[in-house]
Amino acid sequence: MLSMALKMLTGDRGKYAGLLFGIAFTSFLITFAASFFCGFMTRGFSLISDIPAADVWVMDPAVESVEQTTNMSSSALDRVRSVAGVRSAVPLALATAEARFPNGRFQSFQLIGVDDATFVGVPLGNDPGLAGRLRGPDAVLIDSGGSVGKLDTPQLARDQWPHGAPHLAAATRPLEDGDELLVNDHRVVVVGHANALPRFPPRPLMYSTLSNVLRILPPVRQRLTFVLASAAAGVEPTELARRIHAQTGLRARTAGEFKEDTVRWALVNSEDVGDVGAMLTLAMTVGFGITAVLLYLFTTEHLKDYAVLKSMGATSGLLLRMILVQAGVCALVGTGLGLGLCGIAGPIVSAWGFPFRMMWFTPLLGSVMVFIVSLLAALISARPVLKLEPAAVFSGRT
């Protein structure tokens, strides 16, 4: 009987293809939305991932995320260094600064000030000598931070630092070593491109030494955002974080804990979470609508076949299993198609700069959602079969 159910399913090629399309679309959209969600969540703590040397992040007690910070007194650095088990502690300053390009265009950067001696905080990638370039006067490293077209400078000399009106429509090229910018009317010189991970939301990044950052930015009482502490040999980061908090009163979190804090903060405060939820709801609704309607039409068109089987002694339970098998096969094949399409589309959208990251649980989530959609569609389609009276079908009354 179950093999007969499969022959009935594949015999109607049009509706079979429609069912596969609806389920594949549902699988693709749910998996894509979940992968997009994972992508912008992991990009949200890219700053932490960029600094693997920091075992413990120390911050103001009110800070819950790397995306929403406030500064501390510079004395926090000495207080952290005095804690037993701290091998080293260096400062990290975050700020937003507006840079003016040679053609008059201005652009906001996240300005990241790193320790003058160790340069901890600069993502080096495969270029260990990159950070050393910051020893030059007014030197900065830049990175797109996941943004597109925001690091372009005028291509022709006549369009650079123009007198009179800005040359905003001038031909441009990407910033290169030796190019100059103005940050708060202070000259800075680009000495290289950092190897930072993309951010979400995307934003251009500018790295410089802390002394240079303090010179560029307007004077304020507090400029220190984080203290990056590394643990001495034999001291676990979790234990070191506990000691720092107990002795200084500052919030101290291991890198892993701070990433988790940032994700939780984003879940509560980010508007993008609602957008992803709406996308998942839309995928479930559209997928359920297509699957339920097509499966219901397929079932009603084969009522005479089910009536024959029922008159031959097939029980309602057996007929229900036949419908569930049909829905299950469609779900299995459609899910595979949807996941395969998502696997193809993922690298493409990532190359365009979108925060796509397919993690181990995203295909599982898509499969579970498709199973729920298919099960509900099968149960709705089974209703006319379970209420079926063979005599009524053969007499033409249904």
pLDDT confidence bin for 393, thresholds 50/70/90: low
pLDDT category, 264, cuts 50, 70, 90?
very high
Identify the residue with better confidence: 76 or 384.
76
Mean pLDDT of the chain: 88
Tens of pLDDT along 320-370? 888 888 888 888 999 999 999 999 998 888 888 788 888 888 899 889 988
What does the H/E/C string look like for the chain? CHHHHHHHHHHCHHHHHHHHHHHHHHHHHHHHHHHHHHHHHHHHCHHHHCCCCCCEEEECCCCCECCECCCECCHHHHHHHCCCCEEEEEEEEEEEEEEECCCCCEEEEEEEEECCCCCCCCCCCCCCCCHHHHHCCCEEEEECCCCCCCCEEECCHHHCCCCCCCCCCCCEEECCCCCEEEECCEEEEEEEECCCCCCCCCCCEEEEEHHHHHHHCCCCCCCECEEEEEECCCCCHHHHHHHHHHHHCCEEEEHHHHHHHHHHHHHHHCHHHHHHHHHHHHHHHHHHHHHHHHHHHHHHHCHHHHHHHHHCCCCHHHHHHHHHHHHHHHHHHHHHHHHHHHHHHHHHHHHCCCCCCCCCHHHHHHHHHHHHHHHHHHHHHHHHHHCCCHHHHHCCCC
* pLDDT number for residue 2: 63
Across the range 291-303, mean pLDDT stands at 81
Question: Tens of pLDDT along 12-67?
Answer: 778 788 888 888 888 898 888 888 888 888 899 999 999 999 999 999 999 999 99
In this model, does residue 394 exceed pLDDT 70? no
| This prediction's pTM | 0.82
In the chain, domain spans:
2-43+271-394, 46-269
